[in-house]
Amino acid sequence: HRSMAMAKREKGLAVRPVPAPVPEAPTPSATPVSATAPTSARSVKWGDLEDAAGGLERPLLRQRGSNTTSQMAVVGTNVCPIESLDYEIVENDVYKQDWRSRGRIQIFQYQVLKWLMALLVGSFVGLVGFFNNIAVENIAGYKLLLTSNLMRQNRNLEAFLLYMACNAVLAGSAAAICAYLAPAAAGSGIPEVKAYLNGVDAHSILAPSTLFVKIIGSILGVSAGFMLGKEGPMVHTGACIAAMLGQGGSRRYGLTWNWIRYFKNDLDRRDLITCGAAAGVTAAFRAPVGGVLFALEEATTWWRSALLWRTFSTTAVSAIVLRSLIEYCRSGNCGLFGKGGLIMFDVSSRVTTYTATDIAAVILLGILGGLLGALFNHFVDRILRRYGVINEKGAPYKILMTVFISLVTSCCSFGLSSLSPCVPCPPELAPGKCPTIGRNGNYKKFWCPAGHYNALASLFFNTNDDAIRNLFSGGTDSEFGVYTLLTFFIGVYTLGLITYGVAVPSGLFIPVILSGASFGRLVGKVFGSGLDTGLFAIVGAASFLGGTMRMTVSVCVILLELTNDLLLLPLIMLVLLVSKTVADCFNKGVYEQIVRMKGLPFLEVHADACMRSLVASDVLSGPVITFSSVERVGSVVNTLRRTGHNGFPVIEEEPFAPAPELCGLVLRSHLIVLLNGRTFTRAPVKTGAAEVFRKLNPFDFAKVGSSGKAMEVDELRLTEEEMDMYVDLHPITNRSPYTVVENMSLAKAAVLFRDLGLRHMCVVPRTPGRPPVLGILTRHDFMPEYIRGLFENVLRFSFFCTYLSI
């Protein structure tokens, strides 16, 4: 599961699929072709592979050997196959006929549906966010009430056992449904959504089962007292809701809507899932503008003004739905939900002024936040690799590890609170406000005598949202001492590290905010600044978020929307810039690290520096498998059975062209649909698109959703007579595929591939008299790990090349 790149499944190259469904012919060595030397590489049929294996010349660059990277990656805690998405518009006869058949009404319906779906996504995500809040507040509230009632009766041991048992049961339940029903739901899901929007697909990333387990598992995990939050999983939840609506429901569960047929393509689904991810942030933080900026800065790879407007509308609807329901619950109609919400520190009425000492303290906080954030990312990477070894052993080990971490968390939160001394209540507070008896409040009584409170219990023996609210609260400089803040910071920092990676839906926002808020408040206490320690808590949270996640604009706006105070803007901007700059000197952001560690082939904005020393033909494996424009049915079927490739070049040959030329590119899924339509002829002649549309509809070629299952070649049930007939591939061939010349810089090709959102890129010769296509570049070919496997000496100095490029 640690393999770091995608295999050759995306293209028509002669390599062994992994895993191989059937025995196949020996794979020729993946020998790159030099841009300057003459080559004997040629396009071939499947049966010609053995003859072509020895006809490739050695390049000028020294090659280590053929590539052995895998097409598998870790999604959640599950190892599963991955593929690329088809963001390119396939301009074949089917596509043209589809658009020619659409009148003004159909085009208007398409535009209305795009907006309607975006607004529906916002509404549903807002409802789910509201349900999550209610469930967590009530489940955790009853747990804390039962424990507090036992403690009021001086039955402290029973209270501890009950508290630990409730957490263990909740944690074990969350781990069980995640391990057995949807392993892809484990973790925050942000790396998976980020990879999907970059063009990487896995069957279980956005499945309905993943959505169900993400919601229920997140509620159980947060209620179990884990040092994690539901904010990260809400991003994945929003993406799953958008994917389910965009693909017209789920065939597997009998929930389908045929009127969503216009969204049967990856391009529209990508836009809708971007809206869903932004709505997830809105539902988690009640920050609609922050959700839009999160999608722009962190989640999506392709952005445009039309998507900005639609995403903003989605987040606005989500915020309105969530706000309306929370206002309804404030009247006490939702059990223990109470005031709830996530406006955790309203300081809009306070006057904030800064001095030179305050600015120096904020800069120091930014430096320390960057250092501790980079250290946090380093340990997260190490711990997740260790947890991966345990997760490979099966579901029972995942559940046992989760329950063990739950017991450790319960012992820390309850035990450390027990060791904390009782503090007299401030005399200016009314008896009903200190100590607090019940599920929430700034001054928790725990088992202190009357008139006293336990400072650590006010942070540990609480829900995470209430702990953040207590740290952010203003006018409470004397509530938490240095010892309390230092103990809580160490505990939260450690528990956040060991908790992230267990087999439950878990987010990093809350533990990072808790760590940063406690550390910021600690710095404020030590410096004795004129600023309120609650303000230092907010600035500290921003510092840690910048140091771990490396987001600046979105985090700044999210915190401003949380605190409702624009006067904090200069301080938050300053601390984010400092912390991100410091942390970038050591490693990448936590989500970038997790994407790489999971083996998701993510295309970065800038190509690797040492790709500039290679050309496109250097990373080709040959010879490429091609089809004739009118091909024998048996040849197509045998090729599809023996390979897992998703794209094949189509060559126009005699008698349809005087010399072989590239006709276009045909997709595997379109070939299977065409074969299933059985528009065959006994002689190799062109039939045209009209013959195809007599038996097939343009929507028959639409791609199934992430949770759907496409038809396989073995389901065709073709007779021997049909296998000897011919099929015209012109109607389904993309006549204008993106091509690059063989001597184009690999770095330039990588930038072009990413910016256009391609799945296949054909490499053509620069001189006549050679095969019309030399090979196909896919996402896999631009992965540094793959190139390192081919040319060990080229990337040996990659760090030096990167340094020179900077």
CATH number of 108-330: 1.10.3080.10
Rounded average pLDDT over 400-405: 95
Please report which confidence band the pLDDT of residue 96 belongs to, taking 50, 70 and 90 as the band edges.
Answer: confident
CA 339 vs CA 297, 326, 433: distances in Å: 31, 8, 16
Rounded average pLDDT over 201-213: 88
**First-last CA distance in the chain:** 32
**pLDDT, position 242:** 92
CA distance 607 to 594: 19
E strands, 700-781, are: 726-728, 739-741, 761-764, 775-777
Rounded average pLDDT over 711-725: 88
**Tell me: the pLDDT tens digits for 329-342?**
777 677 665 554 44
**Tell me: the pLDDT tens digits for 223-267?**
999 999 888 899 999 999 998 888 765 555 555 565 566 666 788
**pLDDT, position 805:** 46
**Tell me: the pLDDT tens digits for 737-780?**
999 999 999 999 999 999 998 999 999 999 888 899 999 999 98
**pLDDT, position 485:** 93
**pLDDT, position 582:** 96
In single-letter form, the type of residue at position 562 comes to: L
**pLDDT, position 517:** 94
**pLDDT, position 444:** 76
806 pLDDT more than 70: no
**pLDDT, position 56:** 33
Domain range list for the chain: 50-72+607-805, 108-330
Rounded average pLDDT over 656-673: 91
665 pLDDT more than 80: yes
DSSP 588: -
Work out whether the CA dihedral 773, 776, 782, 783 comes out positive or negative: negative
Which pair of tokens denotes residue 273?
């899932």
707 pLDDT more than 60: no
More confident residue, 335 or 635: 635
Percent of residues, the chain, with pLDDT higher than 70: 82
Rounded average pLDDT over 367-390: 94
Residues 622/14, Cβ–Cβ less than 8 Å = yes
More confident residue, 769 or 126: 126
Which pair of tokens denotes residue 285?
């933080």
CA 544 vs CA 194, 225, 516, 534, 577: distances in Å: 21, 22, 5, 15, 11
| Lowest mean pLDDT across 188-192, 443-447, 509-513, 717-721 | 443-447
Rounded average pLDDT over 553-568: 87
Which runs of consecutive H residues, i.e. helices, occur in 181-207?
190-198
SS3 of residue 421 by DSSP = coil
296 pLDDT more than 50: yes
**pLDDT, position 403:** 95
**pLDDT, position 69:** 43
CA distance 441 to 575: 29
What backbone phi and psi angles, to 5 degrees, belong to 82?
-130, 155
CATH architecture of the domain 50-72+607-805 equals Roll (3.10)
**pLDDT, position 432:** 64
More confident residue, 743 or 453: 743
SS3 of residue 251 by DSSP = coil
**pLDDT, position 21:** 36
Which pair of tokens denotes residue 30?
């993946």
347 pLDDT more than 60: no
**pLDDT, position 170:** 96
**pLDDT, position 708:** 57
**pLDDT, position 352:** 64
**pLDDT, position 397:** 93
Task: Write out the H or E segment, with its range, that includes residue 700.
Answer: none
Please report which confidence band the pLDDT of residue 88 belongs to, taking 50, 70 and 90 as the band edges.
Answer: confident
Give the chain's mean pLDDT.
Answer: 82
Rounded average pLDDT over 507-528: 91
CA distance 85 to 10: 10
**pLDDT, position 194:** 93
